[in-house]
């Protein structure tokens, strides 16, 4: 609320108006720091008063009007410019993410997913199919969240999936490490151990979807399952 400075009942209307203007501007300046949500409303009140005072005393209001306009403009610019660092940070983060996605796009335009199955576990065909399904679903969820552009490219290619063999767990870990250094999506499946194999056994490694040339760097030497 504005406080009317009833301090000089004998003063002229011009003195009263000037005192009111100074006190109003001071209240607005204080509100600018204390309660910015009420600032636009107070600016409107002051603007209406300044118009009325100008009509009554057009020659005495230039200073008060100039200060008021400057404060209103300064507040508006502060509110606008205060948002720029956050927006710039978001744009920079977005550009960084897009750069990461673009860096994994292949030159050949061909994409595939590789499923690497351990052969030393002697899993049956049904068990292998189930473990490969787990790896494929996990890889799909990851690429959908992290790199939807690569997912679209893979789907456009027909969603190719290739199953290959690895002799043991150590080989799976080596392949996983190599794939991660190239920025490829990986998904290593550990079985619950309800059937055929021990609980916690690492059964299948999913690599991709990703560019064919990158995936072949990791698994190109492996034989088809």
186-190/111-118 β-pairing: unpaired
75 and 131 both lie in a single domain: no
- How many Å apart are CA 27 and CA 164, to the nearest integer? 76
Instruction: Give me the pLDDT at residue 93, please.
Output: 42
140 and 184 share one domain: yes
Query: What average pLDDT does the segment 168-189 reach?
Result: 96
Question: In this structure, are residues 202 and 189 in contact, taking their beta carbons and an 8 Å threshold?
Answer: yes
| 212: containing domain | 105-219
Tell me the C-alpha distance between 15 and 2, whole Å.
17
Residue 34: per-residue pLDDT: 47
180 and 113 share a domain?
Answer: yes
Tell me: do 116 and 198 sit in the same domain: yes
pLDDT in tens, 53-101: 555 655 554 555 565 556 655 655 555 445 444 444 444 444 333 334 4
Predicted pLDDT of residue 43: 56
Q: How many residues does the chain have?
A: 225
What are the C-alpha distances in Å from 14 to residues 21, 56, 60, 74? 11, 9, 8, 28
Cβ(73)–Cβ(116) below 8 Å: no
Check: pTM over 0.85? Answer yes or no.
Answer: no
Q: Are 103 and 61 in contact (CB under 8 A)?
A: no
CATH number at residue 122: 3.40.1490.10
C-alpha gyration radius of the chain: 35
- The per-residue pLDDT for 194 is 84
Task: Check residue 89 and give its pLDDT.
Answer: 43
Q: Is residue 52 part of a domain?
A: yes
- Higher pLDDT pick, 155 / 104: 155
Report pLDDT digits (tens) over 183-209.
999 999 999 888 888 899 999 999 999
Domain count across the chain: 2
Is the pLDDT at 105 greater than 50? The verdict is: yes
Q: Angle 168-170-172 (CA atoms, 0-180°, nearest 5)?
A: 75
């Amino acid at each position: 609320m504005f406080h009317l400075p009833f301090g000089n009942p004998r003063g002229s209307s011009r003195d009263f108006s000037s005192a009111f203007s100074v006190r109003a501007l001071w209240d607005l300046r204080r509100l600018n720091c204390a309660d910015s949500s009420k600032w636009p409303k107070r600016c409107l009140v002051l603007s209406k008063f300044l118009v009325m005072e100008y009509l009554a005393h057009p020659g005495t209001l230039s200073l008060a009007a100039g200060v008021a306009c400057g404060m209103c403009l300064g507040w508006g610019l502060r509110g606008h410019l205060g948002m720029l660092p956050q927006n710039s940070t978001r744009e920079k983060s977005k550009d960084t993410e897009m750069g990461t996605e673009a860096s994994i796009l292949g030159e050949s335009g061909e994409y595939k997913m590789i499923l690497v199955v351990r052969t030393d576990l002697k899993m049956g065909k049904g068990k292998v199919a189930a473990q490969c399904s787990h790896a494929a679903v996990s890889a799909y969820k990851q690429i959908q969240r992290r790199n939807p552009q690569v997912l679209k490219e893979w789907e456009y290619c027909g969603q190719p999936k290739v199953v290959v063999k690895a002799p043991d767990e150590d080989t799976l870990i080596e392949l996983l490490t190599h794939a991660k250094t190239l920025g490829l999506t990986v998904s290593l499946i550990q079985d619950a151990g309800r059937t055929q194999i021990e609980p916690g056994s690492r059964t299948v490694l999913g690599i991709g979807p990703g560019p064919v040339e990158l995936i072949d760097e990791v698994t190109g030497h492996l034989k088809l399952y």
